[in-house]
């Protein structure tokens, strides 16, 4: 087991919103070393992911476990694929390609580790699809005393129901067994549409497409809609040309948009016209490709983000409030708002627990004021009973979260039973779990 101290103990997340310094970093090379790293921790211990959460859920202040060497697929059994917890979604998608398999649904970022993605409730879109955690068939966990346990719907079912979105509070995930499916091709259609038309046809769009989402520009008239639908088995991908991919995704969505954001940050009165311009110059495109290449987008422009899951039926009222009040904020908003859907599930701390959900994600360019905007959004989403994404910025504590999760007390009781000494806690978890 490699233990390192010094500069490597410093940690900062992708957005730069959170930082921590651990007393030591441990890099286990096998399960025995991982077990000893947990059991031997004198105070608290946290597994580091890729740092793509906007909260401090992954921050380690005592012993940090670096799982960057604990990666790769370790077993396959029909549609079941078992993968080590430090594997990023990007690497997992590549390995599944080689196996002729695919994840049923994904979010639009693939930098997260599989353990971090499920632990914080990462999701994609699609009214008939759940988040990534709903694809988990089994978990192997290292508990506070170093013991290794497996949980499934039949074996330690409560730990399974809680651990699929466990916030790293129950143990260190060592492997994840996923229920995959044969590789498939998605047809993607992206185009600008008047936002009023999008909202008017929202139910139809969610019903008629496998995966539907849209981006609303606060000062523009257009929304960018995205419809991804499965093609029949055996369909050949017809991706955009390499040149067009480079121009549209790299130059337009990253280089040009980043320049626009920096301009707006430097000269605040330009934000509203620049946002309207961004909405007006959106272009249409249609293509097809292997599923994960359609689900995932490359984002290099840095931002801060808050996201709430609200009951699906409340989305029109939530968006109506945002459309009315965001343009009146003192500090303008540079980024669009992203709206996605998900089906209800049975995972205790899932934001979609027992209700079909709409996800509303707001963003602001790094370095621009966001506090008033995020507070407004949180009040609007909260009035609808919204549940904050565990990896996105929010201000709620355990008392407030208990009112929004029917199994909250069950989760905290289970956490106390498997980790009575609070070995896996950090300040963020103590706030949101009341531990």
Helical segments of 30-108, H only: 31-39, 89-99
Structure tokens at 12: 């900062």
pLDDT in tens, 260-287: 888 888 888 888 888 887 777 778 999 9
pLDDT in tens, 29-86: 999 999 999 999 999 999 988 889 999 999 999 999 999 999 999 999 999 999 999 9
Domain 195-387: which topology?
Vanillyl-alcohol Oxidase; Chain A, domain 3 (3.40.462)
Q: Closest Cα partner for 307 from 380, 366, 362, 349?
A: 362
Residue 7: the pLDDT is 44
Segment (H or E) for 151: strand 148-151
Structure tokens at 145: 């005393």
Contacts with 77 (C-beta within 8 Å, 6 or more apart), sequence order? none
Residue length of the chain: 435
- Look at residue 247 and tell me whether its pLDDT is greater than 80: no
- Please answer whether residues 45 and 37 qualify as being in contact, where contact means their C-beta atoms are separated by less than 8 angstroms: yes
Residue 410: the pLDDT is 98
**Interval 178-201 mean pLDDT:** 96
Q: What is the pTM of this model?
A: 0.94
Considering just the CA atoms, what is the radius of gyration of the chain in Å? 21
pLDDT band per the 50, 70, 90 thresholds, residue 5 = very low
> Could you give the count of Cα atoms lying within 13 Å of 335 in the half-sphere of its Cβ?
25
Helix 315-325 / helix 371-383 crossing angle, nearest 10 deg: 150
Residue 4: the pLDDT is 56
- Look at residue 393 and tell me whether its pLDDT is greater than 50: yes
pLDDT in tens, 282-318: 789 999 999 999 999 888 888 999 999 999 999 999 9
Instruction: In whole angstroms, give the CA distance from residue 79 to residue 50.
Output: 27
Give the count of beta carbons closer than 10 Å to the beta carbon of residue 64: 28
Ranges of each domain in the chain: 195-387
Range with the poorest average pLDDT among 150-164, 184-198, 238-252, 410-424: 238-252
- Look at residue 242 and tell me whether its pLDDT is greater than 60: yes
pLDDT in tens, 137-185: 999 999 999 999 999 999 999 999 999 999 999 999 999 999 999 999 9
Residue 141: the pLDDT is 98
- Look at residue 28 and tell me whether its pLDDT is greater than 90: yes
- Look at residue 402 and tell me whether its pLDDT is greater than 90: yes
- Look at residue 130 and tell me whether its pLDDT is greater than 90: yes
Instruction: In whole angstroms, give the CA distance from residue 199 to residue 316.
Output: 7
Q: Closest Cα partner for 233 from 286, 181, 292, 295?
A: 181
Instruction: In whole angstroms, give the CA distance from residue 13 to residue 318.
Output: 29
- Please answer whether residues 185 and 289 qualify as being in contact, where contact means their C-beta atoms are separated by less than 8 angstroms: yes
Q: Closest Cα partner for 394 from 428, 365, 369?
A: 428
Cα dihedral 47/50/52/58 (nearest 10): 10
Residue 3: the pLDDT is 53
pLDDT band per the 50, 70, 90 thresholds, residue 1 = low
């Amino acid at each position: 087991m490699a233990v390192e101290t010094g500069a490597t103990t410093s940690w900062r997340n992708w957005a730069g919103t959170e930082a921590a310094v651990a007393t030591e970093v441990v890099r286990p090379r096998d399960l025995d070393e991982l077990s000893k790293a947990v059991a031997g921790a004198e105070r608290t211990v946290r597994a580091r992911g890729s740092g793509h959460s906007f909260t401090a859920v992954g921050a380690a202040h005592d012993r940090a476990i670096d799982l960057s060497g604990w990666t790769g697929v370790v077993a396959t059994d029909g549609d079941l694929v078992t993968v080590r917890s430090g594997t990023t979604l990007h690497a997992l998608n590549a390995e599944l390609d080689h196996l002729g398999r695919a994840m049923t649904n994904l979010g639009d970022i693939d930098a997260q580790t599989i353990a971090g993605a499920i632990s914080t409730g990462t999701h994609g879109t699609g009214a008939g699809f759940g988040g990534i955690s709903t694809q988990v068939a089994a978990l192997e966990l290292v508990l506070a005393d170093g013991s290794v346990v497996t949980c499934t719907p039949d074996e330690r079912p409560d730990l399974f129901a809680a651990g699929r979105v466990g916030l790293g509070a129950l143990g260190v995930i060592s492997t994840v067994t996923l229920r995959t499916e044969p590789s498939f091709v998605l047809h993607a259609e992206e185009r600008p549409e008047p936002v009023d038309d999008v909202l008017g046809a929202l139910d139809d769009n969610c019903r008629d497409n496998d995966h539907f989402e849209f981006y609303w520009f606060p000062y523009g008239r257009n929304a960018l809609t995205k419809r991804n639908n499965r093609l029949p088995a055996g369909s050949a991908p017809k991706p955009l040309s390499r040149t067009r991919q480079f121009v549209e995704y790299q130059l337009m969505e990253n280089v040009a948009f980043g320049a626009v954001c920096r301009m707006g940050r430097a000269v605040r009165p330009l934000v509203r016209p620049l946002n309207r311009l961004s909405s007006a110059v959106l272009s249409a495109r249609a293509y097809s490709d292997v599923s994960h290449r359609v689900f995932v987008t490359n984002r290099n422009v840095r931002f801060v983000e808050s996201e709430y899951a609200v009951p699906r039926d409340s989305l029109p009222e939530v968006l109506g409030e945002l459309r009315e009040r965001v343009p009146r904020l003192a500090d303008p908003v540079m980024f669009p708002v992203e709206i996605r859907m998900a089906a209800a599930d049975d995972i205790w701390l899932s934001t979609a627990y027992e209700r079909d959900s709409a996800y509303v994600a707001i963003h602001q360019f790094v370095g621009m004021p966001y506090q008033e905007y995020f507070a407004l959004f949180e009040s609007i989403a909260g009035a609808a009973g919204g549940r904050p994404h565990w990896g996105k910025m929010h201000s709620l504590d355990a008392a407030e979260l208990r009112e929004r999760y029917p199994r909250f007390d069950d989760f905290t009781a289970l956490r106390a039973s498997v980790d009575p000494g609070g070995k896996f806690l950090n300040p963020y978890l103590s706030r949101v779990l009341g531990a």
